[in-house]
Amino acid sequence: MPETPNLDAQVNGPQYLGPATFMKVRALTEPEELERVAPDVAIVGAPWDDGTTYRPGARFGPRAVRVANYQGPSWHLDLQVAPFEVLKVVDYGDAVCYPGLTDQAHKAIRARVAEVASRKIVPFVIGGDHSITYPSATAVADAYGRGKVGLVHFDAHADTGNSTWGNLASHATPMRRLIESGAVPGRNFVQIGLRGYWPELETFEWMRAQGMRWHLMGELLDRGVETVIGQALQEALDGPEVIYLSVDIDVLDPGFAPGTGTPEPGGMQPADLLRGIRNIALRTKLVGMDVVEVSPPYDHAEITAQNANRCILEAISALAVKKSRGGTP
């Protein structure tokens, strides 16, 4: 070995060596680089958590999720694919989010994601609190046609509140903002895993008036995750031809995701969530995805960050399968 390891040695060495990009993929910073490299997928960080209402810390999520893997994914055992050999994946860095400046941060996230989605590169956005889905999914809808994108949303909470103590842009409101703005049709907005004690009846009545569909955690337990996800995809694609996927890590039971802002007991198991994400990416045209609400200060042994990392890897691996079969990701 050389006395001073070069970048190639660092990238191909243990996970604790080298650059802190997602799975050590190539880092890009400028739109011109996206044009030149022409990746299939770009990772984007959205380090914003001023929209939280309980535990903070999700601003540190992008960095934690990027590195929460003990080994590079050279081969997916179930899908029999080498995802990072088939797909060209880059890390496009972070949207610049300064604390306390909500409008500015959301504009930065929307612009950063738009630079990716407008080139028909699939953005994988790492939050951040769930308010980042509003600018992120809006950027994807702008690229593919407002009202022409279905949205599947894994979460313990509906996030359809009108305001939180006067804040219209908290992590409890992004789904309402997306529907009200016309970016995503209410009838093609489907939620999976809701449970607990929020929102209240008035908010559910608003959701029903928009034509939204949702599947409570109890339904997943009664009917099975695979059956429910199949129905959810039919609902989300009743008109649209493409899907944006939003995963709030608190859809998992807190035993599997302690590091999150608003934990709610009684949630999904990681194996079910990962398989569900994989099947969604295999069966639909996935044009964008976010994974949000990882709060490293509350995590234990990287449990939450590891699960979030694998959510992204499952979707990327599914896209690789489609490309390996001669299709598009």
Instruction: Give the model's confidence band at 1: pLDDT under 50 very low, under 70 low, under 90 confident, else very high.
Output: very low
Tell me the DSSP string of 238-305. SS-SEEEEEEEGGGB-TTT--SBSS--SS-B-HHHHHHHHHHHHHHS-EEEEEEE-B-GGG-STTHHH
Predicted confidence (pLDDT) at residue 269 exceeds the cutoff of 60: yes
Query: Within a domain: residue 289?
Result: yes
pLDDT winner (highest mean) among 6-10, 148-152, 199-203: 148-152
Instruction: Give the model's confidence band at 10: pLDDT under 50 very low, under 70 low, under 90 confident, else very high.
Output: confident
Q: Identify the CATH number of the domain in which residue 260 sits.
A: 3.40.800.10
Residue 34: what are its φ and ψ, rounded to 5°?
Answer: -60, -40
Query: Within a domain: residue 263?
Result: yes
- In this prediction, residue 3 carries a pLDDT of 53
Domain that holds residue 291: 21-324
Give SS3 for 128. coil
Query: Within a domain: residue 4?
Result: no
Query: Within a domain: residue 6?
Result: no
Query: Within a domain: residue 2?
Result: no
- In this prediction, residue 58 carries a pLDDT of 98
Q: How far apart are CA 276 and CA 305, in angstroms?
A: 18
Predicted confidence (pLDDT) at residue 99 exceeds the cutoff of 90: yes
Query: Within a domain: residue 116?
Result: yes
- In this prediction, residue 106 carries a pLDDT of 98
Query: Within a domain: residue 3?
Result: no
What mean pLDDT do residues 143-149 have?
98
pLDDT tens per residue across span 148-177: 999 999 999 999 999 888 888 889 899 999
Predicted confidence (pLDDT) at residue 309 exceeds the cutoff of 90: yes
Q: Calculate what percentage of the chain has a pLDDT beyond 70.
A: 98
- In this prediction, residue 329 carries a pLDDT of 87
Distance separating the N- and C-terminal Cα atoms of the chain: 38
Query: Within a domain: residue 239?
Result: yes
pLDDT tens per residue across span 215-249: 999 999 999 999 999 999 999 999 999 999 999 99
Please state the domain count of the chain: 1
Predicted confidence (pLDDT) at residue 4 exceeds the cutoff of 80: no
